[in-house]
Amino acid sequence: MTRIAYFTEDLIGDSLVWSNQIAAFAKLYYPCEVTVFCTKGVADLFECMTSCDHVIIYNLAEPWGAEEAAAFGYFDLVVNTRYDADSIARIKALDHEEACGFENVDIPESACKNVYRRYIPLSRWDDYNLRRETSVTEQGSELVRLYTPDYHCHYISFCKMEFISEAPTATDTPRIVFVVGASDPAKSWGLERFLEVARFVFGIGIRPLFLLGPLEKGFETRIEKAGFEVGFDLPFRKIAGYFDPDYGTVCVVGNDTGLMHLACAIGAPSVTIIPFGFQFTWFPYTNDPRAIHRCIAPACSAPMCSTVCPRLAQCINQVSTSKVESEILALLNQPPRRKHHDPKEVLN
């Protein structure tokens, strides 16, 4: 049996949109055993994926000793999606046949030639068409194409049956889930706006549920005072249950953040609020015909605009509550789609 080691990113969204890499390599090397190496923040996510046989958590501040690395055993292939020098050091420490990954600022060409048998050169990663005109899933497919050049992944084939989820308590009232967290303050639409939209959906007979992470702990009191349900720092399998349209959720609304990617992957209709010009690469999900994904960005948004715009902090404020409310209504009244949509089809 082939043993594959997979080093994944620290962010939920990055981990999810490239998750098909695991399935692609597993298919190429079937039968195989997949071990995911990750930091703590995404470990629970991969532990819920049936395609991952083992999940090993490591601390960036604690390098592996020789004995610790040896205990992981031998790997036929190491796939590295990370960009940090730390991952190179860990791959060197592992007993393995070959490795693949990306050249970048922290992993220069010299390091690539020393560690990887195959790698994506920086010139390819800077390619205009690849980075600006294709979906994020196609960008992540570059590693797989090192081994099978004709491979393409325009859409994630992630199926909720491949994710271990926990069903929530049954309810007769349809639910809309609000994801208010954001890893970047410039991506945060603001709790008060979400509360205003929650009052609107409550008024049309839909039950609002707010999901909060550790960074939003102070929001609990304000949400509960407004009369709405709160789920704080829940495990991924429970979050997945709340997202699942089979358990009463009619829509998930949130900032451009990792949990919105999980909602899309589970098959929930979604409205994502995005401040920067990356929205044209945001929709790689097609697992459920009910899952119509809408993206709202400021009218001024353009490809890669965050690299040149001096007004990023105010950008997301251009998205109004009325716009989000109208998109929710459009989702609720729109019939299931019959075919895959173009990931470039977004709303401004």
pLDDT digits (tens, 9 = 90+) for 92-139: 999 999 999 999 989 999 999 999 999 999 988 777 788 777 888 888
Query: What pLDDT does 315 receive?
Result: 83
CA distances from 327 to 96, 300, 319 (A): 50, 19, 12
Report helix, strand or coil for 210.
strand
Give the domains, in start order, of the chain with CATH numbers. 2-154 (3.40.50.2000), 162-333 (3.40.50.2000)
Report which of 224, 231, 227, 173 is spatially closest to residue 199, judged by C-alpha positions: 227
Query: What pLDDT does 283 receive?
Result: 63
Query: What pLDDT does 336 receive?
Result: 54
Query: What pLDDT does 284 receive?
Result: 66
Report d(CA 137, CA 157) in Å as an integer.
Answer: 10
Side-chain half-sphere exposure of 139, counting CA atoms within 13 A: 23
pTM score of the predicted model? 0.88
Residues with pLDDT less than 50, the chain: 337-348
Query: What pLDDT does 47 receive?
Result: 96
| Amino acid present at 118 | R
